[in-house]
Amino acid sequence: MKNKIIREQFNKQAEKFSEFSFTKSRVIYKFIYDFCRIQPGDTLLDVACGSGAFALFCAEKVRSVCGVDISDRSITMAADTARGRNIQNASFIRSDVEAIPVADGSFSIATCRMAFHHMGNYQKVFSEMVRCVQKNGRICIQDMTACDRKETDDYFEEIDKLVDISHNRSLSKAEIIDLFDGQGVRILNTFESRHEFEINEYASHAIQAPENFEALNRLLETGLNDTALSALLYKKGDQTFLKKDGIVVLGIKE
Ligand SMILES: C[S@@+](CC[C@H](N)C(=O)[O-])C[C@H]1O[C@@H](n2cnc3c(N)ncnc32)[C@H](O)[C@@H]1O
């Protein structure tokens, strides 16, 4: 995905994205916080931090946090929220995370939530996360994952691109795990999940052009008639639901 498109899209949809139930769930923040074994002495780098909700949740509990994101609007929202809540140990940088403007080993932990599926050069982003943490620092990625069956995956990839033009590709669980293995980051823990979303709520996390919204509805109609998709796309009454798989992986840089 061209980073210019990501920047423009999140400049437009930062507010909508920050209101999405999955984005603002403090239950999920707490889960990731515990999963990452975050300690009061930690210095945390949140990569592709969006409007900063997870970083600011952590800021109240750790030594310092720094959020980095390519979207000007998201970084402004994050900095404004920190100021409004008088949080002094949080900083936010607008930058492409393919080249994070901090020195090697600056942090004890680097996290990245729900962003690898936007990134064309996700390997470079991962290597930046590794570079930015000190020896024995932790690295955590949480993201939605590809479907195992190719035809099912192709279908949901098309759905996700119509929902948000800055969606690039959901990685498979194996691709995410390979990132850690490939850079000598020892995996400490993995967790797999499946979440159900009502389709209008799901689509409302992003902004669609009218023609994409219409194409999305047509594609949903087709999908609802395909029994091979029925475990992941179905109706309950007059509402349509989809299920998305995800993974959280925590590793240590040795
Ligand atoms: C789906 S949002 C997730 C935001 C945040 N991590 C959260 O959980 O709320 C994806 C974020 O990734 C950012 N992003 C994607 N590619 C990026 C890149 N190459 N450099 C910096 N930020 C990027 C977008 O601007 C957007 O804020």
Residues 213-223 have pLDDT tens digits of 999 999 999 99
In the chain, what are the domain boundaries?
A: 3-147+167-195+246-253
| Cβ contact 181:252 at 8 Å | no
Cα distances (Å, whole numbers) of residue 197 to 32, 202, 207, 236, 238: 20, 6, 17, 12, 14
The pTM for the full model equals 0.97
Is the distance from CB of 240 to CB of 191 less than 8 angstroms? Answer: no
Angstrom distance (rounded) from CA 72 to CA 70: 6
Whether the per-residue pLDDT at 160 is higher than 80: the answer is yes
Q: Which ligand 1 atom is nearest residue 98's CA?
A: 19
Q: How far apart are the first and last CA of the chain?
A: 31
Q: Which atom of ligand 1 is nearest to the CA of 74?
A: 27
Residue 143 has pLDDT above 60, yes or no: yes
Q: Distance from the CA of 3 to the center of ligand 1, in angstroms?
A: 10
* 93 Cα to the center of ligand 1, angstroms: 12
DSSP state of 20: S
User: Do the Cβ atoms of 121 and 57 come closer than 8 Å?
Assistant: no
- With beta carbons less than 8 A apart as the criterion, state whether 229 and 155 touch: yes
pLDDT in tens, 181-191: 999 899 999 99
On whether the CB atoms of residues 140 and 112 are closer than 8 A, the answer is yes
Tell me the pLDDT of the chain averaged across its residues: 97
From 30, 33, 49, 121, give the residue whose CB has the most ligand 1 atoms within 8 Å, as the site to mutate.
49
Compute, in angstroms, the gap from residue 114 CA to the centroid of ligand 1. 7
Q: Which CATH number fits domain 3-147+167-195+246-253: 3.40.50.10540, 3.90.1150.10, 3.40.50.150, 3.20.20.10?
A: 3.40.50.150
156 C-alpha to ligand 1 centroid (Å) = 20
Pocket of ligand 1, candidates 4, 6, 26: which has the most ligand atoms within 8 Å of its Cβ, to mutate? 6
Is the pLDDT at 1 greater than 80? The verdict is no
